[in-house]
C-alpha cells in the first residue's frame, strides 16, 4: 500500500514512484510558499473533533480491542491531535516567538526552517505512532516519507489520508510506503533522499539506519528504552496499585512501561514482602483490565515453567491467572518477559548511580514511589544516573509538551538559518 499525493495506490506501482521521489520532493521544495503550521494544526484539530464525535469508532474500536487498549486511553492519545495541545507543543519545543526569531545583537537575522525531507522508520509497538511521527515532521514544515512497521493495521494510512482530505495543501508533504525491512536497496534510496532518518526502535534498528546512510544524513533515534519503578518502604498503596494497573494497561510494550521494580533495601525479607504484596495488587489490576492475549499468556507460562525446571534457586517465582512476579537477588536492569510479568530486585539508594549509569542511552522513565521527604534526593540521583522521565505509578501517561527521550522532536526536525 502506498499513499502519495493524497491518493492510496497499489504497491505494484512502487518502482515508478520511487524513480520520481527525489524529483517530486525537489518540486515541492521549489514552491515559493512554505507549509503552514497553522493549516497542519487546523487539520489535526478537525480530525480530533471527528474522533471525539465517534466518526472513526468503526475502525478504532476493533483495533483497540485487538491491542487491549481501553477507550479512555484512546481518547487521551487522540487529545494530542487537538489544536490546544499542538499549539502548546510548538510553543514549548520551539519557543514563544518561533514564527519570527529575534535578530542577533549584530543585526544578523535568524529564521527557523525545516530540515527538508524526513524518512521515518516507524515501530509497531503503539498504534497511531507512525502517523504522529509524520505529524511532528509536518509541524516543523518537512516533507515526510514513512516506512510502515510490519505490524501496522491500516490505522496510519487512514489517519493521514483523512488529514489530507481535510487539508489538501499537505498532500505533497506525505508519502507512505509499506516496504519490508528486508528491502535494503529501497530503504537506502529513501535514506539517500532524506536530510534525516527518524528511526523508532532498538539498537539493531538504529545500527541498520546508520548502515543505510552516509555522513551527510542526520540520524534521529527514538527508543527502544528501558523503564522501571523505584520503590521505598514509604511507598503508598495507592501508588503501588496505580503501578500495577499501568503494567496491565500497557502490557509493558511501551518504552515508558515498567519492566520491573527496584526496592530501596538490602534486606531479603523486605524484598520478599514487597514482592508478595505487589503480586496481590497485580492480580487485582489484571481482573479490572481483563486478561491479556492468550498467546502471550501461554508463552510466559512456558518460560516460567522452564525457569522452574532449570532450578533457579535464587529466584522466587509467583504466577497466577496470567500475571507473574519474579523476585530476584541481583540488581541488574533488564527487559522483563512483558505482558504482565515483571521482576523485583534490591537496589539501595546509594547504589543507584553506579548501577544504572552503565545503561546510558537506554534509560527512559522511572516510576518513583516514595515519601515527599525522600523525593528530591532520589530525583537527583536518578537524573544523574541518566533517567529522563520521573513519574508516579502511571508511568505511561502522556502530557502535552513532553520531550521524546529527553529531547524535543520539533527542534531536532528544524534548523536555524542566519542572514547577515
Please determine, for residue 38, whether its predicted confidence score (pLDDT) is greater than 80: yes
pLDDT of residue 356: 98
The pLDDT of residue 325 is above 80? yes
pLDDT of residue 126: 66
Structural domains in the chain, CATH included, are: 2-223+405-419 (3.40.605.10), 226-391 (3.40.309.10)
DSSP category for residue 407: B
**Continuous segment of H or E residues that includes residue 221:** strand 218-222
Mean pLDDT of 10-28: 87
Question: What percent of the chain is predicted at pLDDT more than 90?
Answer: 68
User: Which has more pLDDT, 29 or 298?
Assistant: 29
> According to the model, what pLDDT value does residue 66 have?
66
Where does residue 407 rank: exposed (0-12), middle (13-18), buried (19+ CB within 10 A)? middle
Could you tell me if 155 and 59 are in contact, meaning their C-beta atoms sit under 8 angstroms apart? yes
Q: Mean pLDDT lowest for which of 65-69, 148-152, 236-240, 320-324? A: 65-69
> What gap in Å lies between CA 114 and CA 352, rounded to an integer?
40
Integer Cα distance of 193 and 142 in angstroms: 13
- The pLDDT of 71-87, averaged and rounded, is 85
Residue 19 has pLDDT above 90, yes or no: no
Residue 64 pLDDT exceeds 80: no
Do residues 2 and 160 touch, judged by C-beta distance below 8 A? no
Contacts 24+ apart (CB under 8 A), 276-282: 276/318, 277/240, 278/240, 278/243, 278/244, 278/325, 278/344, 279/318, 279/320, 279/323, 279/325, 281/237, 281/240, 281/241, 281/243, 281/244, 282/244, 282/247, 282/248, 282/323, 282/325, 282/340, 282/342
Backbone angles phi, psi at 189, to 5 degrees: -65, -40
- Please tell me the number of Cα atoms within 13 Å of 44 on its side-chain side: 24
Q: Please give the full DSSP string across 179-200, using - where no structure is assigned.
A: --TT-HHHHHHHHHH-SEEEEE
Q: Which residues pair with 258 in a beta bridge?
A: 227
What residue spans of 1-70 are helical by DSSP H? Answer: 14-29, 37-52, 57-67
> CA angle, corner 120, sides to 119 and 121, nearest 5?
120
How many residues does this entry show for the chain? 420
Which carries the bigger pLDDT value, residue 131 or residue 351?
A: 351
pLDDT at 51: 87
C-alpha cell at 415: 534548523
The whole-number pLDDT of residue 125 equals: 64
Contacts of 308 (CB under 8 A, 6+ apart): 317
Sign of the Cα pseudo-torsion (92, 98, 104, 110, in order): positive
What confidence category does residue 339 fall into, taking pLDDT thresholds of 50, 70 and 90? very high
Report the mean per-residue pLDDT for the chain: 91
- The answer, yes or no, to whether residue 112 has pLDDT greater than 90, is yes
The reported pLDDT for the residue numbered 308 is 82
CA distance 94 to 414: 9
**CA–CA distance from 273 to each of 263, 283, 416 (Å)?**
11, 16, 55
pLDDT band at 169 (very low <50, low <70, confident <90, very high): very high
Per-residue confidence at 400, pLDDT binned at 50, 70, 90? confident
Residue 70: pLDDT band (50, 70, 90) is low
CA distance 380 to 378: 5
User: Is the pLDDT score of 228 beyond 70?
Assistant: yes
- The answer to whether 99 and 109 are in contact (CB under 8 A) is no
Q: Which of 97-111, 295-309, 349-363 has the lowest mean pLDDT?
A: 295-309
Q: If DSSP states are collapsed to H, E and C, what string results for 103-129?
A: CCCCCCEEEEEECCEEEEECCCCCCCH
Alpha-carbon span 102 to 112, nearest angstrom: 11
Q: Give the CA dihedral 239, 245, 249, 250, nearest 10 degrees.
A: 50
pLDDT of 311 strictly over 80: no
* Sole residue written with cell 538490602: 266
The C-alpha angle with vertex 167 and arms to 37 and 62, in degrees rounded to 5, equals: 105
Q: How far is CA 153 from CA 12, 44, 124, 283, in A?
A: 19, 21, 9, 31
User: Which residue is associated with the grid cell 489535526?
Assistant: 44
**Region 353-362 average pLDDT:** 95
C-alpha cell at 301: 507460562
Specify the pLDDT at position 282.
Answer: 98
Instruction: Indicate the range of 69-78, 146-155, 231-240, 369-378 predicted with least confidence.
Output: 69-78
Please check the confidence at residue 74 and state whether its pLDDT lies above 80.
Answer: no
Of 1-5, 52-56, 238-242, which one has max mean pLDDT? 238-242
What is the pLDDT, as a whole number, of residue 69? Answer: 66
Q: Does residue 24 have a pLDDT over 80?
A: yes
More confident residue, 267 or 8: 267
Grid coordinates 539498537 are at which residue? 203
Residue 84 banded pLDDT, cuts 50, 70, 90 = very high
Of the candidates 275, 190, 286, 277, which has an alpha carbon nearest to the alpha carbon of residue 246? 286
Please check the confidence at residue 63 and state whether its pLDDT lies above 80: no
Amino acid at each position: 500500500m502506498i499513499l502519495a499525493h493524497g491518493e492510496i495506490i497499489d504497491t505494484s506501482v512502487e518502482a515508478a514512484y520511487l524513480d520520481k521521489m527525489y524529483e517530486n520532493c525537489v518540486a515541492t521544495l521549489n514552491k515559493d510558499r512554505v507549509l503552514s503550521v497553522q493549516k497542519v494544526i487546523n487539520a489535526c484539530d478537525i480530525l480530533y473533533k471527528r474522533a471525539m464525535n465517534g466518526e472513526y469508532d468503526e475502525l478504532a474500536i476493533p483495533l483497540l480491542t485487538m491491542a487491549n487498549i481501553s477507550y479512555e486511553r484512546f481518547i487521551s492519545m487522540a487529545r494530542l491531535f487537538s489544536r490546544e495541545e499542538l499549539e502548546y507543543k510548538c510553543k514549548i519545543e520551539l519557543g514563544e516567538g518561533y514564527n519570527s526569531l529575534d535578530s542577533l545583537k549584530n543585526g544578523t537575522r535568524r529564521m527557523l526552517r525545516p530540515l527538508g525531507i524526513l524518512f521515518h522508520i516507524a515501530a509497531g509497538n503503539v498504534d497511531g505512532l507512525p502517523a504522529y511521527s509524520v505529524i511532528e515532521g509536518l509541524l516543523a514544515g518537512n516533507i515526510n516519507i514513512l516506512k510502515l512497521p510490519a505490524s501496522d493495521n491500516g490505522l496510519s494510512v487512514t489517519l493521514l489520508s483523512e488529514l489530507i482530505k481535510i487539508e489538501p495543501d499537505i498532500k505533497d508533504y506525505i508519502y507512505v510506503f509499506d516496504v519490508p525491512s528486508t528491502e535494503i536497496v529501497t530503504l537506502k534510496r529513501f535514506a539517500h533522499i532524506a536530510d534525516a532518518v527518524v528511526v523508532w526502535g532498538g539498537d539493531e534498528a538504529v545500527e541498520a539506519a546508520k548502515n543505510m546512510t552516509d555522513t551527510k544524513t542526520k540520524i534521529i533515534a527514538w527508543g527502544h528504552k528501558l523503564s522501571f519503578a523505584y520503590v521505598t518502604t514509604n511507598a503508598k498503596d495507592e501508588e503501588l496499585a496505580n503501578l500495577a494497573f499501568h503494567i496491565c494497561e500497557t502490557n509493558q510494550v511501551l518504552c515508558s512501561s515498567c519492566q520491573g521494580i527496584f526496592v530501596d533495601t538490602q534486606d531479603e525479607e523486605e524484598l520478599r514482602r514487597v514482592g508478595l504484596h505487589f503480586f496481590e495488587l497485580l492480580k487485582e489490576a489484571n481482573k479490572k483490565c481483563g486478561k491479556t492475549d492468550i498467546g502471550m499468556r501461554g508463552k510466559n507460562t512456558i518460560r516460567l515453567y522452564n525457569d522452574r525446571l532449570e532450578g533457579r534457586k535464587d529466584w522466587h517465582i509467583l504466577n497466577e491467572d496470567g500475571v507473574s512476579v519474579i523476585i530476584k537477588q541481583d540488581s541488574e536492569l533488564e527487559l522483563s518477559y512483558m505482558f504482565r510479568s515483571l521482576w523485583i530486585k534490591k537496589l539501595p539508594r546509594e547504589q543507584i548511580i553506579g548501577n544504572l549509569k552503565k545503561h546510558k542511552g537506554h534509560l527512559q522513565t522511572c516510576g518513583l514511589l516514595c515519601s515527599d521527604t525522600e523525593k528530591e534526593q532520589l530525583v537527583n540521583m536518578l537524573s544523574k544516573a541518566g533517567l529522563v522521565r520521573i513519574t508516579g505509578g502511571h508511568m505511561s501517561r502522556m502530557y502535552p509538551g513532553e520531550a521524546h527521550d529527553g529531547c524535543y522532536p520539533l527542534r531536532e526536525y528544524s534548523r536555524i538559518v542566519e542572514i547577515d
